[in-house]
Amino acid sequence: MAGGSAISGLVGARVHRKEDRTILTGTGRYIDDVQERGMLHCHFLRSTVAHGRITSIDVSAAREVEGVVRVFTGADMSAITEDLSFAQPIPGLNSPSYPAIARDVVRFVGEPVALVVAESRYIAEDAAALIEIEYDLLEPVMSTAAGLAEGATQLFDDVPGNVVHTDEQLFGDIEAAFAQADHVVTQSLDQHRWACNPMETRGGVATYETGSGQLTYEASTQTTHTLRFLLAGWIRHPIHQFRVTANNIGGGFGLKFSAYREDVAVCAAAKAIGGTVKWVEDRNEHLVAAGAAREEQLTLEAAVKADGTLLGLRVTMKLDAGAYPINPPATVYAGLVRTTLPGPYKLPAYQFRHHIVATNKASYISLRGPWAVETLVRERLMDKIAHTCGISPVEVRNRNLITLDDQPTKMITNVTLENVTAAETFQKLVEMVDLDAVRREQEAARAEGRLLGFGVGTFIEPAPGTQEFWAAVGFPFGSEPCRIRIEIDGKVTAFTPQTPHGQSHETTLSQLIADELGVGFDDIRIVYGDTDATPFSMLGTGGSRAATMASGAVVYGSRELRKRLLEIASHILEASVDDLDIADGVVSVKGAPGASVPIAQIAMGCWLAPEQMPPGTNTEMEFVANYDGEGGGFSQASHACWIEVDQQTGKIEIKRFLVVEDCGKMINPAVVEGQVIGGIAMGVGGMLLEHSAYADDGQYLAATFMDYLMPSAPELPEIEIEHLEFESDKVVGSRGVGEGGTVLAPAALLNAIDDALAQVGRERVTETPVTPTRMLELLGVIEKE
C-alpha cells in the first residue's frame, strides 16, 4: 500500500513497511557489509581464565605475521585511551573504572587481553593464536552468595565486599501490615542468566582521516549520541570532530544501548593507525563476552488478609552484575524492579532491599524489559496467595487490581497512575477464557494420564514511563527531539535520534507525518542515528520510548510546519486558515478544490525567495520539535498460557497463548503484533531454553548455538492477540509495546507450569530455566543431581 491520500487513514492501518524492500532484497548496510578499500579488520584475543593476574604477554610472534598491521596489548591501549568509567554521583554506588583492554587483571572468561589489526579477519585470528599470555590464577567468584560470603575474594579494590550497591527502601507501615496479616505467603525465585542474542552481533567501523582529524564510527548501536560523547572522552578525541552513525542494525534488545570497551579499542586503533578499521564480533565471542542479564535471586513475603487482599510486601533481591559496569549503572535495574514491582495492584506497604554483587562473569546488560523479574515474581506470588487463601488466580487479581475508576491514584512507590487499563485487559482476558472449561479439560486429561497447565498474568510497563516513575528509578526521562524539513520539492525529511533495529520507525513515523502534514507516505524520508544530522538525545532507541516520544516529536514538528504552510497559503489563497486543508501535498480551500496551492510551490518560495513570501509569515521550512511526553504513561497487557507437560520426557508444549494488550492508539497494528509476538518468543525462550551458563571454575559453557538455544518456529504456538486501544485526551495516545511480551510471558508460562505441578501435588518452580530435566525433577520422576 503506497502513500496516496494522506489525511487520516494511515495511522492505525497495517501499512506496508518502507524497510522491507531493502531487507528482502538484501541491500541493507549492516556493519559486516561495510567493505572499504584498504579497510583493516580487528580481532580481540580474549581471556581463557575467569580471574587472574596477567604476568606476561608476548605479542612479538603475532606482529611478525604477514598481513598484520598492529597488535595492541592492554598497556599499548592504555597509553592512548582513558579507562572506561561509568561512575555516577549515586550514593553508595561502587563503580570501578577499567581499561579497554585488560592490563593487569582479568575478571571474566572472554575479557579482551589484546587486539590484532590485520588485512583480514582470517589473518588476525592466525596472529592472535600466536600471542603468548600467562596468568596467575585467582579464586573466581561465581555467584552472589560466593561474592558476599565472609572472606570472599574481592574483585576490585574499590568495590568492598564485592557489593556494587545495596539499599533498602520502605514505603508505608510495613510492620503494621505484617502484624495484621491473616497469612504470610512467601516465595523465592532464582532466575538464571540469559542474553539478548540479536542475530547481528556487536560491531563497528571506525575511520580516522589523518588529514582533517575527523573520526567517524559507524556502529551497530541503539544510541549514537551517547556513544559519541562517551567514546570521545575515553579515546581523547574532540567531540566536535567525532561523528557516530548507524545504518541497518540487526537487532539490539537492549544490549547495544551501552558503550563497550571494544568500541573504545577499535576507535583508538583507527586513530593510531589511520584509515578504516572494522570490528565484527563473532557469535562465539558474543555468547562468551557480550554480556547477559536476568541473573537475580528474589525472596518475597506477602502479608495478606484471609480473602487474599494485599496488606504489605517485603522483597529482597540479589543481582549478579558480572565484573564490569556498563551503561546504565546497575542501580537503574534495581530501581526499575523496586519501583515497578507493585504493578497495577493496590499495595499499602512495601519494603524493598537489594544487593548488587560483582562476580567473575561478563557484564550484566540491558535485556528487553530489564526489570522483568518484578512481574515474574509478583504474578507468581499472586497465584500462590490465591492458592493459600483458597480462591482462584482470577479472583485474587480482581480483588487487588487498580481499575480505571480507582485512578488517578498513586502506586506505593510514589508513581501516579492514570489511564492505566491493566485491570481492564485482565477483565477482557477473563471474558475470553472459560475457566470452568479449562479445569474440566485438565481433569479429563489427568484421567488419560496427561497433564495440562493453565496460567495467567497481568502487568504494567513504563512505556515510556513518567517523570515521577523515572525519578523514583533514578534515570533521566528526557524529552525527545525531531527535526523536520519540508524540502524545495515539497517532500519531507525528518531527522530523528532514534536508531531503529526492527521497530519499523521509518514506517510508523512516516505514517504520522503523512497524516499530520498531508503529504504522501512515500514522499517522506526518515534519517536516523547520524550524530551529524540528527538532534541530540541521550536515549536513542530503547525503553519502549519511541511509540510515544518519537511519535510526539514528529507530530508536534509536523503540526508546526503545517501551521506555517497554512498561514502562507491563507495569504496566497485569500482564505482563512480554518478553511484550508492539506491532502496529497496540496493545500486547498475546503469545498473549493480549484482554489489550491501545492506545498512544493510554497516550499520553493520559502527556500529560494523568502523575501517574496507574504510579510509576517514564518518562512522557515525546517523546525526542531521537542516533545516532553505529555506526562508519558504506561502500557499494559494480560496473558493466558495453556501448556501440556509430557510427564515422561519433561518437555513442555505451549498449546495456546492469548494476549489482551493495550498500548493506546496503535500506529500500525502489524508492527504492534510483531513486537508482542517477538517479545513473547523471547520470554518463552528465556524460561525454557536459553542459559548463559558458567561452570563453578568460571569457564563459560554456552559458547555456541549448539548450547545457547533460542526458540525456533516449532517451539512457539500461534499467539492470539486482542487489542484494547484506550483513548486518552493526550495529543499522542500511543504507548510503547516493544518490551511487554518479554516481561509478562514468563510469568504466565511459569504460572501454567506451577498449575500443572499443583494438580499432581508437587512443589512450585523456584529456579529457572525449566528444562526437561528440571521438569522431571519437579515432578519427582527423577532425582535432582
For the segment 378-397, give every residue that binds another protein (CB under 8 A): none
| Grid cell for residue 22 | 531493502
DSSP 230-269: HHHHHTT--GGGEEEE-------TTGGGS--HHHHHHHHH
62 vs 310 by CB, closer to another protein: 62
196 vs 330 by CB, closer to another protein: 196
Shortest Cβ distance from residue 29 to another protein (Å)?
8
Report the C-alpha gap between 52 and 94 in whole angstroms: 21
Report the C-alpha gap between 601 and 727 in whole angstroms: 37
Contact call for residue 671 and another protein (CB under 8 A)? yes
Of residues 734 through 753, those in contact with another protein by CB under 8 A are: 741
* Span of 172-180, 282-290, 470-478, 626-634 interacting with another protein by CB under 8 A: 282-290
* Span of 186-194, 434-442, 476-484, 671-679 interacting with another protein by CB under 8 A: 671-679
* Cα angle, residue 679 at apex, residues 255 and 294 outer, rounded to 5°: 50
Report the C-alpha gap between 270 and 115 in whole angstroms: 12
Shortest Cβ distance from residue 24 to another protein (Å)?
4
Report the C-alpha gap between 570 and 599 in whole angstroms: 12
> Would you say 735 and 672 are in contact if contact means Cβ atoms under 8 Å apart?
no
Shortest Cβ distance from residue 547 to another protein (Å)?
15
Contact call for residue 710 and another protein (CB under 8 A)? yes
Of residues 150 through 179, those in contact with another protein by CB under 8 A are: none
Of residues 598 through 617, those in contact with another protein by CB under 8 A are: none
Q: How many residues bind another protein (CB under 8 A)?
A: 80
CA distances from 385 to 78, 178, 300, 379, 390 (A): 55, 15, 12, 10, 8
- Please write down the HEC assignment for all residues of 623-686: EEEEECCCCCEEEEEEEEEEEEECCCCCCEEEEEEEEEEECECCCCHHHHHHHHHHHHHHHHHH
* Span of 56-64, 293-301, 574-582, 771-779 interacting with another protein by CB under 8 A: 771-779
Shortest Cβ distance from residue 413 to another protein (Å)?
31
Alpha helices in 235-293 (DSSP H): 261-273, 283-289
Instruction: Provide the terminal-to-terminal Cα distance of the chain, rounded to the nearest Å.
Output: 57
* Span of 409-417, 517-525, 637-645, 670-678 interacting with another protein by CB under 8 A: 670-678
Contact call for residue 340 and another protein (CB under 8 A)? no
Shortest Cβ distance from residue 660 to another protein (Å)?
17
> Would you say 458 and 637 are in contact if contact means Cβ atoms under 8 Å apart?
yes
25 vs 56 by CB, closer to another protein: 25
> Would you say 509 and 673 are in contact if contact means Cβ atoms under 8 Å apart?
no
Amino acid at 245: T
Contact call for residue 586 and another protein (CB under 8 A)? no
Shortest Cβ distance from residue 1 to another protein (Å)?
10
Of residues 9 through 48, those in contact with another protein by CB under 8 A are: 14, 16-17, 19-28, 30, 32-33, 35
Shortest Cβ distance from residue 680 to another protein (Å)?
6
122 vs 536 by CB, closer to another protein: 122
Amino acid at 557: G
Shortest Cβ distance from residue 196 to another protein (Å)?
8
Instruction: Map residue 132 onto helix, strand or coil.
Output: strand
Contact call for residue 772 and another protein (CB under 8 A)? yes
Amino acid at 641: C
| Grid cell for residue 630 | 505529555
Shortest Cβ distance from residue 649 to another protein (Å)?
5
CA atoms within 13 A on the CB side of 56: 4
Binding residue (CB under 8 A) for another protein from 328, 455, 664, 679: 679
Report the C-alpha gap between 149 and 724 in whole angstroms: 49
Of residues 633 through 652, those in contact with another protein by CB under 8 A are: 648-651
141 vs 680 by CB, closer to another protein: 680
325 vs 650 by CB, closer to another protein: 650
Contact call for residue 693 and another protein (CB under 8 A)? yes
Task: Report phi then psi at 614, rounded to 5.
Answer: -50, 130
Of residues 186 through 225, those in contact with another protein by CB under 8 A are: 197-200
Binding residue (CB under 8 A) for another protein from 253, 350, 623, 634: 253
Question: 342-355 b/e with 16+ CB inside 10 Å = b?
Answer: bbbbbbbbbbbbbb
101 vs 719 by CB, closer to another protein: 719
Alpha-carbon Rg for the chain, nearest whole angstrom, is: 28
Burial-class residue 339 by CB neighbours within 10 Å (0-12, 13-18, 19+). buried
* Span of 186-194, 278-286, 510-518, 603-611 interacting with another protein by CB under 8 A: 278-286
Binding residue (CB under 8 A) for another protein from 79, 87, 129, 432: 129
Amino acid at 297: Q
Contact call for residue 122 and another protein (CB under 8 A)? yes
Report the C-alpha gap between 607 and 604 in whole angstroms: 5
275 vs 535 by CB, closer to another protein: 275
Shortest Cβ distance from residue 314 to another protein (Å)?
34
Shortest Cβ distance from residue 255 to another protein (Å)?
11
